[in-house]
């Protein structure tokens, strides 16, 4: 897996994922640390399921193909909207464990700017212990959900004026990490990204 680094002046380069790291946003860091404090697998599952229970009701009319997360065994939907420069996500799944993963990401990432979301890597899942506890298909589902969330953030980022991309409230947006889709080489274009929201 590779990361596309999108520079503020639209320069791109591909480098190995292992050479890039960013601190987690405070809320996501709190969630990760809470998982680290839970040694038993059963209790980690219970904590994960608590995120599913806290997710707001997802409108049935939003369960359409353009909001569906690809590559998941379960039916997973994620929507995004921009509110005062920050991204608000909503999601759902027909599997409670997968719904918990959706809820975890939404609680950890809601209210961030598009640039802040794009700078994140998904390997924080390793720190939670869930990558060991969950089946490979559910771990793969987590990465697909994360990738979809970043694509939606990318669509909003590309809509921002060029001069605003350098003002991201304390972050250094000289490189924005976006997971490269396995099936499409055009994910970093404004047109294809906008269609994903």
Domain range summary for the chain, segments of one domain joined by +: 2-194
**Residue 87 CA: distances (Å) to CA of 39, 49, 74, 139, 195:** 33, 24, 24, 24, 16
The two tokens of residue 88 are: 């608000």
Q: Per-residue pLDDT tens for 56-65?
A: 999 999 999 9
Q: Are strands 76-83 and 12-16 parallel, antiparallel or unpaired?
A: unpaired
- Could you say which of 3.30.499.10, 3.90.180.10, 1.20.1250.20, 3.90.1010.10 is the CATH number of the domain covering 2-194? 3.90.1010.10
pLDDT classification of 72: cutoffs 50, 70, 90: very high
Q: What is the largest CA-CA distance in the chain?
A: 48
pLDDT of residue 133: 86
d(CA 6, CA 105): 23
Average pLDDT over residues 41-51: 96
d(CA 184, CA 162): 25
The mean-pLDDT minimum among 22-31, 66-75, 159-168 falls in: 159-168
Average pLDDT over residues 79-103: 97
Q: Which of 72, 105, 106, 134 is catalytic?
A: 72
For 63, the 3-state DSSP assignment is coil
d(CA 162, CA 115): 12
d(CA 40, CA 31): 16
pLDDT of residue 23: 87
pLDDT of residue 175: 40
pLDDT of residue 128: 95
72 catalytic? Reply is yes
Within 55-93, where are the H helices?
none
The percentage of the chain sitting over the pLDDT mark of 90, rounded to a whole number, equals 68
The percentage of the chain sitting over the pLDDT mark of 70, rounded to a whole number, equals 71
pLDDT of residue 170: 44
Residues 6 or more apart whose Cβ sits within 8 Å of residue 38:
44, 47, 129
């Amino acid at each position: 897996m590779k990361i596309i680094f999108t520079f503020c002046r639209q320069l791109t380069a591909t480098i190995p994922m292992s050479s890039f790291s960013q601190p987690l946003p405070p809320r996501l860091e709190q969630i990760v640390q809470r998982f680290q404090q839970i040694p038993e697998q059963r209790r980690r599952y219970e904590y994960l399921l608590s995120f599913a229970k806290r997710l707001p009701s997802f409108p049935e009319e939003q369960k359409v193909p353009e909001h569906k997360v690809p590559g998941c065994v379960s039916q997973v939907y994620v929507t995004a909207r921009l509110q005062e420069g920050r991204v608000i996500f909503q999601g759902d799944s027909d599997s409670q464990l997968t719904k918990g993963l959706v809820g975890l990401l939404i609680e950890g990432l809601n209210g961030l700017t598009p640039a802040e979301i794009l700078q994140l890597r998904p390997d924080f899942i390793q720190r939670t212990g869930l990558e060991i506890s969950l089946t490979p298909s559910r771990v793969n589902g987590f990465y697909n959900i994360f990738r979809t969330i970043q694509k939606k953030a990318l669509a909003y980022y590309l809509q921002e004026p060029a001069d605003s991309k350098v003002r991201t409230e304390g972050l250094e947006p000289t490189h924005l990490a976006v997971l490269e889709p396995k099936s499409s080489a055009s994910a970093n274009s404004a047109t294809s990204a906008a269609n994903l929201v």
